[in-house]
Structure 1
Amino acid sequence: MGRASGTFDRRTLLLGAVPVVLTAAALGTWLAAVAGRLPHPVASHWSGSGAADGYMGVGAMAWTAVGATLGTGLLCAVCFSLGSLGSGVRRGGVAGTVLLTVWIASMMVAGLAPQLDKATAQGTVMDWGLVGAGVGIAVVPAVLLALLVPSRSPETCDAGIPRGALVDAVGARRGDTVVCSIRAGVVMYCVVGGVMLVALGLLARLSPWWLLGVAALTALVLCLLSARVAASADGLSVRVSGRLRLVHMPVASYGSAKAMPVVEPMQYGGWGYRAGTWGTAFVVRRGPGLVLSLAGGREFAVNTDTVDTAQHMAALLNGYKQLQPGASGGSGASGGSGRAGTNA
């Protein structure tokens, strides 16, 4: 079992980053080997039909190709190695990182290979067969690497519940669950939609082949503006798109839970999923929320639909915490014994 170190899961980071570095190194080695066989200038941009319509120097093209491959891949590897992400999300992230990196590198090779030993780059067309072959070959290692991603091993915290915290020991013994749905406001959807539409329009003028990636990114961002939050015997979980578990905080991973009447997005770095030295958060709007204390003084914050739901979840999660072996009992059950969980 892999173990998260601070904010990131080390094994997931390595599984995503190492293939990226190797792919970028292989691309750079190939470019250095064929640089003398390429025309000057070399085709560096292709239209929707695959015909060359933009040119630059060989050296600039080589640096751009390696930089785009390495930078995009490492960014994805880092984002998907956050320790608080569910194992399913991290596995999908590793596979997606490998495939995206190979796709970018294959696009570069497929655009430059037809120009080898040509006097001019005019009229050259991208070799789509190379793109398909490269991505197809990468599918198997991408899946195998994803299977190596470990389930999250939570850092253990002090089992004591702060004095005065709500504790629903009765609901915890019954195995109750509290569930709520959270969603960003209409204004946020309009802002995100507007920005993405502008980006799509600009990229459509540059290259139609980037539209698919931006459309996928748009769908991902919109998915992160709503979620289902559940407090249960398994801990706290946040799911997006119905069933995809974005965050899972087992009972062993937090010290205590507290309800907050107002959670400010900027208090945790903005809207959506955020991570920093202070911990992690999933905040989609200004409003009531739940905060879990984690190891090392860090926190995890998430919105709830109402203050009452936040209080109910905090009480239930604290109750589950007290039922753990070795937990200190009787620490301030004020207001908790009379709260009943909602079975789901």
Structure 2
Amino acid sequence: MTERGRRSAAAWGAVGWCVGVLALLVALPPAASSRLPERLATHWNAGSGRPDGSMALWAAALFPALVWVLLTAVVMVALRRAGSGAGGAIPGWAVASLGFGGVMLLGGQASIVRANLDHADWHDADSVTSWVVGTLVVATTVGSIGFLAARRAPSQTPPATDGPVLDLPAGQRLIWLARTSNPWLQAVSAVTGLLAIAVVVGVLAGLAESVAVLAATPFALACALVLGCSSVQARVSERGLDVTFGPLGWPGRHWALEDIESARTENRTPAQVGGWGYRLSGLGTTVMLRSGECLVIRTGRDKDFAVSVDDADQAAALLNALSARHGR
């Protein structure tokens, strides 16, 4: 995928997260309105843990939504002034802010609804201390993961050389790096992730029994698996070939130079290898994220491994040159 394509995929992912959080914030109180008092307890005394402030149901639905809109607007303005980060990528602070803020607001909204649920008067609402603490822990974790994932994403792909065959001068070290993403797989991961979040938020808010969390499990697993297969990064260096998956670069596979018999390029399509993602077929193992040129290595066990990345001919040339230098 080109740099422009990576920026577009990241932007659509951010938009999907912002819209999904906004929809859940607004929809949660009305969804439970038949079991809520006319006014909802929205503030609790830090000492006693008893409610000491309230809002009308419509206000309780709109206030966190407005806070979220304000937060996203501030992040967007800051990104515009900063030029959207180096190379057009979304910087880690922006990802962390949206992740932390979204989870905090969703957790807070779910806590408020649950505390007021099945009470005739907001003064009788339950305490939210434990829920707030739990939300803070989860939000911090999500923000940290988002920050680390954004920092790992390369802003550009440095070419190793212009030709398909390299003549490496003695003592010179070259590194080739490429990253490919599939926006459709990322979209599927985002949709299944939002569905899982919606189910969990509904359970936390008391709108469904705890056993309903099991319904979120398939969506959460699908989100994690598809996200892990939606992007790949390949790196050729003196160590050999490293291929890592997902936004965090984990899991990954490594081949030392002595384990690689040869490297070449080959055009492959999803139809040839059996679909998208991590595929096993008669052609060997293929990480298929887009049709076209793939880097293919033949290992010492006469097995092929292919990954669809740009400038695969440069990677193959560098791998063959490095193997020759090491006396393959």
- Give the TM interval when normalised to the shorter protein: 0.3 to 0.5
- Greater relative contact order: 1 or 2 (C-alpha under 8 angstroms, separation 6 or more)? 1
TM-score, structure 2 as length reference: 0.41
TM-score, structure 1 as length reference: 0.39
Identify, as 1 or 2, the structure richer in helix.
Answer: 2
